[in-house]
Amino acid sequence: MNFEIIGSLYDVEVIAFGRNIRELPRLRRSYGPGRWRKMKARGTIRYFDGRIRQAELHWYEAHGIGRVDWKVKEKD
C-alpha cells in the first residue's frame, strides 16, 4: 500500500463473495481458506508523497485473515 487511510470508511458495501470472486484461487493460495468477500468503501487517503484525496477503496477480506490487497479507485 502506498497510502494510508485517514479517518473512517463510509458507504461500505460487499461487491462479491464466495465463488463470484474472480481472484478466489489466488487469495486461497496466498492467504489461506476463508469466507472471502470483495468490498468497497469511500474514504480519505494520504499518499506518502503528501497528497490527500477522497477515493473509493476496494479490498478483499476474510474472517480471521483480515483485509488484504487494497486498491484505490480515485474520485476527484
Give the pLDDT band of residue 2 (cuts 50, 70, 90): confident
pLDDT at 32: 94
pLDDT at 1: 67
Got the DSSP string for 24-74? HHHHHHHH-SS--EEEEEEEEEEETTS-EEEEEEEEEEETTTEEEEEEEEE
- CA torsion sign, 31 to 28 to 69 to 6? negative
- Whether the pLDDT of residue 70 is over 70: the answer is yes
pLDDT tens sequence across 18-42 = 999 999 999 999 999 999 999 999 9
Give the pLDDT band of residue 74 (cuts 50, 70, 90): confident
Query: Where are the domains positioned within the chain?
Result: 3-74
Give the pLDDT band of residue 76 (cuts 50, 70, 90): low
The whole-angstrom separation of Cα 45 and Cα 9 is 10
> Is residue 14 within 8 Å of residue 60, measured between CB atoms?
no
